[in-house]
């Protein structure tokens, strides 16, 4: 039975591509994040293939999953990158990403981060406030450079998703409100060390409907019309990311047809109003590229059946996979052996000292201590949100390529947990 692309039971045992997950657990231990190279490549190609024949660039949102090998594979497939910190910038460079295809988003870029990004020659700064325009202009002046900028516009459309991941409404911290956009562009055009190149938005994450995304694109194109009346030329339009994935068989936006619809809509608008001068189109997908290409592998430590609830305590926890605790996210949990009889209802929890440390609730599973479990659709915002809470070392990560397992992050040794810490010179 196929559970996700390239994740299936074969002869009753859970496999990712041609590798049994049991083999991975034996060799690398648990908890371990496991990715499929084929699923990851297909996730990216869904965008890239739909862009073929257009002037378009797919900038993978690094924060979704930022392991160097994942970035390297995506760069190899032609991806650009959407970054939000100096750390992500250095990751992309270390993975061989092309600086010219990097765009830098985020509301709080420091002067040092702006300076470093300018120094390596990134493609565009997605600026989110008037203050940031001035800071970037000053940084560029000191570097004797001109910084390419796009303004992140908050189009005030409701993406209909979880409030923590809605970013395009009026009352969020993100972007420049659309009613202030003209003033912000005039300011950007006036500043001598900035070069206006684009316009962007990103309205939220895990979006299951395309209409809000299309509405946002229409607001941006309307704004470009007004900018062009003032001789402020825009060379690219960046529609952001946000397309959701099926965690629980939800109906999702089909990436290929969505991308083609956006490209056609933008091309039609250009033809109608501007006699054909084309605009480059950028996409910033994260979750929809990697989400279903990864799983978290864990082992059952203890079973604790109770009067009210049955608890299965596993060796992964909220520090490894935060999404359930953070936004009550639902991850499908599947056992290593297919379809055992004698199921009970279990809450699958971690060992951390928080009642919020749960990974899955009220799941019908047949479990024994020592069993392996896989938490599916954990490729995005899984490892990249992991922490050391309770002094737990970060999990290992492996990438499966047909019948080969590549370790792409070694399990963190305990000594690394406090390697940067220092004792006091206690003399009394």
Ligand X SMILES: *Cc1c(COP(=O)(O)O)cnc(C)c1O
CA distances from 56 to 51, 80, 274 (A): 6, 10, 19
Give the chain's length. 428
* CA separation for the pair 83, 85 (Å, rounded): 6
Query: What is the distance of C-alpha 270 from the center of its chain?
Result: 30
* Token pair of 90 as six digits: 């250095």
Residue 63 makes contact with ligand X by CB under 6 A: yes
Q: Which stretch binds ligand X (CB under 6 A): 140-148, 234-242, 400-408, 417-425?
A: 234-242
- Burial (CB count <10 Å: 0-12, 13-18, 19+), residue 139: buried
CB of 75 to ligand X, least distance (A): 17
364: part of which helix (H) or strand (E)? strand 358-365
Note if 201 is an active site residue. no
Per CB under 6 A, contacts with ligand X among 351-370 are none
CB of 48 to ligand X, least distance (A): 15
| 374-399 residues labelled b (16+ CB within 10 A) or e (exposed) | bbbbbbbbbbbbbeeeeebebbbbbb
Residue 205 makes contact with ligand X by CB under 6 A: yes
Residue 82 makes contact with ligand X by CB under 6 A: yes
Q: Which stretch binds ligand X (CB under 6 A): 127-135, 143-151, 218-226, 239-247?
A: 239-247
Single residue of 219, 287, 299, 323 touching ligand X by CB under 6 A: 287
CB of 153 to ligand X, least distance (A): 12
CB of 163 to ligand X, least distance (A): 14
Q: Which stretch binds ligand X (CB under 6 A): 87-95, 135-143, 267-275, 279-287?
A: 279-287
| 1-10 residues labelled b (16+ CB within 10 A) or e (exposed) | eebbebbebe
Residue 149 makes contact with ligand X by CB under 6 A: no
Residue 101 makes contact with ligand X by CB under 6 A: no
Single residue of 242, 294, 335, 350 touching ligand X by CB under 6 A: 242
* Token pair of 397 as six digits: 């990560």
Do 294 and 382 meet the contact criterion of CB atoms below 8 Å apart?
A: yes
Cβ nearer to ligand X, comparing 287 with 331: 287
Residue 175 makes contact with ligand X by CB under 6 A: no
Residue 105 makes contact with ligand X by CB under 6 A: yes
Do 338 and 12 meet the contact criterion of CB atoms below 8 Å apart?
A: yes
Residue 64 makes contact with ligand X by CB under 6 A: yes
Do 60 and 287 meet the contact criterion of CB atoms below 8 Å apart?
A: no
Q: Which stretch binds ligand X (CB under 6 A): 134-142, 235-243, 252-260, 301-309?
A: 235-243
Active centre residues (catalytic): 353
Residues making contact with ligand X (CB under 6 A): 61, 63-64, 82, 105, 202, 205, 240-242, 284-288, 380
């Amino acid at each position: 039975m196929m559970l996700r692309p390239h994740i299936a039971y074969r002869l009753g045992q859970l496999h990712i591509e041609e590798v049994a997950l049991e083999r991975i657990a034996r060799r690398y231990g648990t908890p371990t994040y496991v990715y499929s190279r084929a699923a990851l490549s297909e996730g990216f190609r869904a965008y890239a293939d739909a862009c073929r024949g257009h002037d378009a660039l797919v900038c993978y949102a690094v924060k979704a999953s930022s392991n160097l090998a994942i970035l390297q594979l995506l760069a190899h497939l032609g991806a650009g990158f959407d970054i939000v910190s100096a750390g992500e910038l250095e990751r992309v460079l270390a993975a061989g990403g092309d600086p010219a295809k990097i765009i830098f988003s985020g509301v709080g870029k420091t002067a040092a981060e702006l300076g470093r990004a300018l120094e390596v020659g990134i493609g565009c700064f997605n600026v989110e406030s008037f203050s940031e325009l001035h800071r970037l202009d000053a940084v560029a002046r000191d570097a004797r450079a001109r910084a390419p900028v796009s303004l992140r516009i908050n189009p005030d459309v409701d993406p209909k998703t979880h409030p923590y991941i809605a970013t395009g409404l009026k009352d969020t911290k993100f972007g420049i409100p659309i009613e202030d956009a003209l003033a912000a562009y005039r300011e950007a055009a006036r500043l001598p060390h900035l070069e206006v190149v684009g316009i962007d938005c990103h309205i939220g994450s895990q979006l299951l409907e395309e209409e809000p995304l299309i509405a946002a694109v229409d607001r941006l194109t309307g704004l470009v019309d007004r900018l062009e009346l003032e001789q402020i030329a825009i060379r690219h339009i960046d529609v952001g990311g946000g397309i959701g994935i099926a965690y629980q068989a939800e109906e999702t936006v089909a990436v290929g047809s969505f991308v083609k619809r956006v490209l056609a809509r933008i091309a039609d608008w250009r033809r109608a109003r501007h006699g054909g001068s084309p605009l480059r189109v950028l996409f910033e997908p994260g979750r929809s590229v990697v989400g279903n290409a990864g799983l978290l592998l864990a082992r059952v430590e203890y079973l604790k059946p109770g009067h009210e609830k049955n608890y299965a305590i596993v060796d992964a926890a909220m520090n490894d996979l935060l999404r359930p605790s953070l936004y009550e996210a639902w991850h499908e949990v599947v056992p290593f052996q297919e379809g055992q009889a004698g199921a009970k209802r279990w809450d699958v929890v971690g060992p951390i000292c928080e009642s919020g440390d749960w990974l899955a609730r009220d799941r019908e599973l047949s479990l024994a201590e020592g069993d392996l479990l896989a938490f599916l659709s954990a490729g995005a915002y899984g490892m990249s949100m992991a922490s050391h809470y309770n002094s737990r070392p970060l999990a290992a990560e492996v990438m499966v390529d047909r019948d080969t397992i590549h370790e792409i992050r070694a399990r963190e040794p305990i000594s690394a947990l406090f390697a940067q810490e220092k004792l006091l010179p206690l003399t009394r």
